[in-house]
């Protein structure tokens, strides 16, 4: 029998740890990506703190299988979007949170979208940063699979999922050599959750369809230097759900850098200005604030 993350009899076992709970007011809930933990939001949290959290309550958990969250065996939990979403929904109910702004980074976008679909009463809007959305499952020979972007990514993901030692070593090296990265956590302890989430959450067309069915205002954010996201898939999802989903492209890579942290804080606190947000405007505001201080 396959158990879901938040089956009623197992919800206590899968209780997500709330690592950050600061401020007061409407909730901003931040969901990290694959192979990360809550610390990946550090630059965003710093920017929010500088504005006294914008009179919001900021909540950041570790997702199922990562950080200090429960790590059920893959035989008990498939680590698909439904499993992750049900664990988040249980956390929101436990914290008595509703009408939250839900922000996701990478895989966290897919979890946030599923939460909004299953419980739109808990979500006021979504901010999705670098969502890995795929429209097709690759078929055929290696050449036929890698001819299209979706197939190329799936091929790379398949190699990663079959090589735990190499992937863990590469993650450690990236963490050591990239001082701007925060919250990276690909270890032997998180490997079952990492590889299962990769296969069952990211390597799927279901998240693309989820975005096209959202009923809450949603901002899809693409980093112009993001090599992990297929830009045209984000545009296609936004076109299919014009009533709720907007697409913007901003400067920056896939991971959240200090400058991106400030940009994301602006998107969370001032959504009406998001379309006109630019790296220059964020830098200008930052230096003006430092001069006034």
pLDDT at 121: 96
- The answer to whether 25 and 269 are in contact (CB under 8 A) is no
pLDDT at 10: 53
Average pLDDT, the chain: 88
173-222, pLDDT tens digit by residue?
988 888 778 989 999 999 999 999 999 999 999 999 999 999 999 999 99
- The percent of residues in the chain predicted with pLDDT above 70, rounded, is 86
Instruction: For the chain, give every domain's residue range.
Output: 18-292
How far is 197 from 67, CA to CA, in rounded Å? 14
pLDDT at 81: 95
Prediction pTM value: 0.90
Query: Topology of domain 18-292, per CATH?
Result: Rossmann fold (3.40.50)
- The answer to whether 180 and 60 are in contact (CB under 8 A) is no
How far is 189 from 242, CA to CA, in rounded Å? 41
- The answer to whether 269 and 261 are in contact (CB under 8 A) is no
Q: Which residues pair with 23 in a beta bridge?
A: 57
């Amino acid at each position: 029998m396959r158990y879901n993350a938040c089956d009623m009899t197992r919800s206590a076992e899968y209780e997500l740890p709330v690592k950050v709970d600061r401020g007061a007011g409407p909730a901003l809930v931040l969901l990290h990506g694959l192979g990360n933990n809550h610390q990946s939001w550090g630059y965003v949290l710093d920017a929010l703190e500088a504005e006294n959290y914008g009179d919001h309550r900021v909540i950041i958990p570790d997702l199922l299988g990562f950080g200090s969250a429960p790590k059920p065996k893959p035989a008990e939990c498939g680590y698909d979007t439904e499993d992750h979403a049900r664990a988040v929904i249980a956390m929101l109910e436990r914290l008595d949170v509703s009408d939250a702004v839900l922000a996701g980074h990478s895989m966290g976008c897919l979890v946030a979208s599923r939460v909004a679909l299953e419980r739109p009463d808990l979500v006021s809007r979504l901010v999705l940063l670098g969502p890995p959305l795929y429209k097709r499952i690759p078929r055929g020979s290696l050449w036929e699979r890698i001819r299209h972007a979706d197939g190329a990514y799936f091929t790379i993901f398949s190699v990663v999922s079959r090589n735990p030692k190499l992937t863990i070593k590469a993650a450690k090296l990236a963490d050591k050599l990239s001082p701007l990265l925060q919250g990276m956590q690909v270890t032997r302890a998180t490997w079952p959750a990492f590889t299962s989430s990769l296969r069952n959450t990211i390597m799927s067309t279901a998240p693309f369809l989820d975005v096209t069915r959202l009923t809450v205002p949603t901002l899809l954010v693409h980093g112009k230097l993001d090599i992990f996201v297929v830009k045209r898939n984000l545009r296609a999802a936004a076109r299919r759900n014009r009533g709720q989903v907007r697409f913007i492209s901003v400067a920056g890579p896939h991971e959240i850098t200090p400058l991106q942290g400030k940009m994301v804080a602006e998107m969370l606190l001032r959504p009406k200005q998001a379309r006109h947000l630019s790296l220059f405007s964020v830098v200008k505001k930052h230096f003006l604030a430092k001069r006034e201080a």
